[in-house]
Structure formats: C-alpha cells, structure tokens
Amino acid sequence: MTLERIFAACAPGLEPVLARELAALGLDARATPGGAEASGSDAVALACVGSRVADAVGLRLFAGPAGGADAALAAARRRFGARAPLAIRRDQGEATVSIDAAGEPLYRRGWRARVGAAPLRESLAAGMLLAAGYEGSSAFLDPMCGSGTLALEAAEIAARRAPGRGRRFAFETWPDHDARRTAAVRARLAAREREPPAPIHASDRNAGVLRIAQKNALAGALAPFIRFERRDAALVEPPPGSGLLAVNPPYGVRLPEGAASAWRSLATLLERLPGWTAVVLGPDRGLERLLGRTPAHILRVRNGGLACQLLFFGGTDRGAQD
C-alpha cells in the first residue's frame, strides 16, 4: 500500500481547521502556513473528494535538498507529460515539487448557479462551521443567509455528504491512476451519508437573494433539508432548543448601506438565543462592538483578500466591549 504525501491549501487562518479535517478523514496531518501537509493511503482522493475546507490539493513528488529538485521535476515530466501542472518551490536550501491533483478549485461545489452581491467562498463557510464544532446534530440558523452558502454547507455537513462526490478531478486523468481505489474511497465516504437529524433554518429580509438561495439549494439537492424564510434578522423565530447560529453580516465594504443596522439586528436576535453558540464573520473594523458582547474566541482569516475575523460566542458569553 503506497503512502501519498500531499499539501492542501486553504484560506489563511483556517490551517488548523483543515489539518483536523484531514485527520478525521484518516490522514496524518499537520497545519502549515497556507494549508496543511498530510500523508496516508489514498491521501489525494480522500482530500479531493472529502475535504470541505481545502481550496486545492497537490501531490508531493519530491521534498528535500534543493539540488535534487531539477531531477525530480524532469522525472515528473516523463511520468505526467510535458504540460502537466507542476509546481516547484525553493526555500533556504530545501525544495518541493508538486502536481495539482484537483484541477478546478475545490470550493466550487457545483451548486452555485447565481450569487448575491458579496458571495462567501464555500470552503471558508465550511471552515467557519467546523471551527465552531458544528457536525449537524444540533439546530442551525443563518438569519442573513444571502445566497445561502452557510446554510448549504451546514446541510452538507449534517447529511455527511462528501463535497466532491459528484466531481471528477485532475488526478483521475493521470497515467497511473487506479480507478478502483478511487471508487472505493468514494463508496466509503458515501456510506456515511444520513438524513440531517436537526433543523436547518435560513432567512433573509431581501426577497431577491432569498430566491437565489432557494435555487442554489435545489441545484445542490439540499432543498428538503433547509427551511427558508423571508424575515428581518431581529424578528427571526429560531428552531426550538439550542444550536449554532452562523452568519456573514454586511460589512459596509461591498455592501455599504445598512451595515450597522444589520449588526444591531443581529445583536437583538442574539439576546433571544440563550444557550446557543454563534460564529460571526466580520471585518476588523469595530462593527463587532454593536453586538454588545465579548467573543469567547477570535480567529483571524481572510475573505476575498479582506482581513476578517471569526467571532465565536458561547451560549453564556456576555459582556459589552469597550
């Protein structure tokens, strides 16, 4: 059984989340700047088909002294062809040679027919949810769902559907690709699927983006799992019990109108959710002060090149910020 070594890239800030996800898939993984390094049997297939947080996956063909990189690169071209998407990196006397295993970026799930004005990348949305510990056994709520990215990723997690289940990847065109092993990986991941055990609610006050969200849910075969509703965030009726609220509210950057009002509406809703946990994606611009509570934890990330932060709140985390 051949062990494969890979590097999976992700949004800056999500490296530990990605490493944990790859470890849960059965790989030996560790976070590193820009992503995670991992190794194991069928590592390429597992990461491409099963990772929600990775944006790209490269198979490591060489890692060692820089003097050996040129020979490794030449050997890779004889193996994969002269036009293969190979990458060589040199740093302080060391080098790596890798080949792109995914092809199209992994965050392109295939369901996004249309987007709203400020789309959230699917892999970042999944990283938000996994960082908050969401695995689908408790209720989920996004009160400003936009085109539905967070709700759809929540439904995928709750249903335990592999994000790459319906896609074909670059590694499947390699000359020495073992189609039977890849089929076995797909079957193993598919065997984990289930009906989501807890409600998933998504709402927005904008009728236009809500229609886009519903169309995206239909395209992803996730519509039966999500309850959509047109409603202002301050007036949302959450699912019974407790659960996770995840939201990407307006920042006032690409959507300048009403950003502060939206954050105040979110603060009103949070007051009505005792016992819930929450993760809020926002810019490092002070808007979080409008929530009137101190985050239990902050994770700094980048969203479309913009410096942002994930704000995590527990059900009992309170206390106004100065």
pLDDT digits (tens, 9 = 90+) for 71-111: 999 999 999 998 999 999 998 999 999 999 999 999 999 88
Is pTM, for the whole model, over 0.85? Answer: yes
How confident is the model at residue 113, as a pLDDT? 65
Domains 3-100 and 122-162+194-313 agree in fold: no
Residue 119 is classified by DSSP as P
Q: Report domain extents, the chain.
A: 3-100, 122-162+194-313
Q: Which CATH number is associated with domain 122-162+194-313?
A: 3.40.50.150
Ranges of H-type helices in the chain:
15-24, 43-50, 69-80, 122-131, 149-159, 179-190, 207-219, 259-271
Q: Hey, which CATH number is domain 3-100, 1.10.260.40, 3.30.2130.30, 3.40.1190.20, 3.90.650.10?
A: 3.30.2130.30
How confident is the model at residue 252, as a pLDDT? 65
SS (H, E, C) 251-302: CCCCCCCCHHHHHHHHHHHHHCCCCCEEEEEEECCCHHHHHCCCCCEEEEEE
Q: Is the dihedral of CA 211, 110, 152, 57 positive or negative?
A: negative
Judged against a pLDDT cut of 60, whether residue 1 lies above it is answered with no
